[in-house]
Amino acid sequence: MAGNSFTEYQKNALEDVCRLIFKEFSNTVGVAFLKLDCDCIKLAGVSSTGDQSSPMMLVSGNPPVIDESTGAETTPVCEICKDDSLGVFRTKNRGIIWSNKKAVLSKQIRNKVKAKVFDSDL
């Protein structure tokens, strides 16, 4: 897993989302992530050609809370993201989590994918 700056909750949530993306979008070789300064994480699958292979997903910086009256789990809305609709200019940390099930891509290809993903506005 990339980055040690995630909370335990986020690491687990990220793992779940990555697993889902790798499973549902079979041309995905990695999951690109942007961690914003509010601790929310934006992420999307990328293909070996550096194209987006899945819809954009979000892991909130706020852990889910249990609603005491219904017992349902809800994730609090991030007020900062709500205001600027996930401003990428607030990115603190970014990277790609590569699939460990696919054939390993050469460093050259990885760098190409990275350059394409992060030069564009993911």
Question: Considering CB under 5 A, how many residues would be counted as binding Zn ion?
Answer: 5
Beta bridge pairs of residue 91 = 36
Give the DSSP letter of residue 34.
E
38 contacts Zn ion (rule: CB under 5 A): yes
Residues 6+ away with beta carbon under 8 Å from 87: 36, 81
The smaller minimum CB distance to Zn ion, of residues 40 and 57, is found at 40
What type of residue sits at position 117?
A: V
Contact string (CB under 5 A) for Zn ion, positions 74-103, x = contact: ----x-xx----------------------
Residues near Zn ion (CB under 5 A) are 38, 40, 78, 80-81
